[in-house]
Amino acid sequence: MSEAGKGGVAVHASVLVVEDEPKLRDLLRAYLEREGMTVLTAATGADAIALGMGSSPELVVLDLGLPDISGEAIATELRRSGDPLILILSARAEDEDRVRGLELGADDYLTKPFNPRELVLRVKALLRRGRAAPGQSEIRSFGGGQLVIDEGRREVQIGDTLVTLSPSEWGVLLTLARVPGRVYSRYELMNAVRGYEWQGYERVIDTHVKNLRRKLQAGAEGNAVIETVIGAGYRLRLSLDQP
């Protein structure tokens, strides 16, 4: 097998694996390194936060069940420092936990036990998405300046307020803003955000939209920015301003 696995292309990215089970930690390291990634590992939340701040990994694989600090607190801490992509691992299979994981701003979620190959696929999909920057330094304004999206700087301004979005929320907003007024189905949004199908987990998109709305509401009136079209999906209600 080549360094990049079966005929794949090496992915040069730094990934931090946070997992207290040594066997699983070593297994994930081996799988990711085989893809050409630089892998750091941490067995505790304290180490994870220190490494997350010190080495700015592009992506963090984060076990929610760690001995010292809760995975939730670590995710919050990571978001504050380098804002890496976060893929959460959990032993809890309940839907509520899945959704909660994504409310933390996590970008994907895997329930144990899982196939390491599946994890590798998801890590690669997230990295592709995180790096894709369509339309580079384009700045677009909507609704007479109510909403401004700066793709180059990855910034969103609503009214006078600059809002911080998780990578998934950013993906949803960019997709909706592609054609303002067009209704995007949950399926389309999910594919745009994840780059692959994910077991029909449409509720995940609802959570991202809910969080996005809450953030965008800060400077706008009510739910004026994103509209739910019952039985169809979501759309951006503001129209694109002429430059």
Nearer to Ca ion, 63 or 108 (CB): 63
For residue 14, the cross-strand partners are 38
Sheet of 38-42, strands arranged across: 38-42, 14-18, 59-63, 85-90, 108-111
Which residue of 58, 63, 107, 108 would you call a contact of Ca ion, by CB under 5 A? 63
Nearer to Ca ion, 70 or 81 (CB): 70
User: Is 229 strand, coil or helix?
Assistant: strand
Minimum Å distance from CB 21 to Ca ion?
6
User: Is 224 strand, coil or helix?
Assistant: coil
Span from 28-36, 55-63, 125-133, 220-228 in contact with Ca ion (CB under 5 A): 55-63
Minimum Å distance from CB 27 to Ca ion?
14
Nearer to Ca ion, 63 or 151 (CB): 63
For residue 17, the cross-strand partners are 41, 61
Span from 9-17, 58-66, 131-139, 165-173 in contact with Ca ion (CB under 5 A): 58-66
- Using CB under 5 A as the binding rule, the residues of this chain from 8 to 47 that contact Ca ion are 20
> Using CA atoms, how far apart are residues 49 and 73, in angstroms rounded to an integer?
10
Nearer to Ca ion, 65 or 219 (CB): 65
> Using CA atoms, how far apart are residues 146 and 160, in angstroms rounded to an integer?
8
Nearer to Ca ion, 19 or 151 (CB): 19
Q: Is 108 in the site for Ca ion (CB under 5 A)?
A: no
Q: Work out whether the CA dihedral 223, 225, 229, 232 comes out positive or negative.
A: negative
> CA 69 → CA 19, 46, 49, 87, distances in Å?
12, 7, 10, 17
Q: Tell me which residue of 159, 166, 125 sits closest to 238, measured CA to CA.
A: 159
Q: Is 74 in the site for Ca ion (CB under 5 A)?
A: no
Minimum Å distance from CB 130 to Ca ion?
25
Minimum Å distance from CB 237 to Ca ion?
43
Which residue of 5, 8, 36, 65 would you call a contact of Ca ion, by CB under 5 A? 65
Minimum Å distance from CB 68 to Ca ion?
11
CA 234-124-48 angle, to 5 degrees, is 100
> Using CA atoms, how far apart are residues 11 and 32, in angstroms rounded to an integer?
9
Minimum Å distance from CB 183 to Ca ion?
41
Span from 59-67, 108-116, 128-136, 198-206 in contact with Ca ion (CB under 5 A): 59-67
Provide the binding-site residues for Ca ion, judged by CB under 5 A: 20, 63, 65
